[in-house]
Amino acid sequence: MASTAFYNLTSGTTTVAPTTALALGFNSLSVTAFFGDTDTTLTITHNWGLNVTAYTTLFQPWFQFTPQATAAVTVGLAVVSYAANTITVNKNSQTSSGGLFTLLLQRPFSEIS
Residues 30-87: tens digit of each pLDDT? 999 988 888 889 999 999 888 877 766 667 788 888 887 765 566 778 888 888 899 9
* pLDDT exceeds cutoff 50 at 17: yes
Vertex 9: Cα angle to 5 and 15 (nearest 5): 30
**Distance (Å, whole) CA 112 – CA 16:** 29
Q: Is the pLDDT of residue 12 over 60?
A: yes
The pTM score is 0.84
Helix (H) or strand (E) holding 22: helix 20-23
The structural domains of the chain, with segments of one domain joined by +, span 4-107
d(CA 54, CA 58): 7
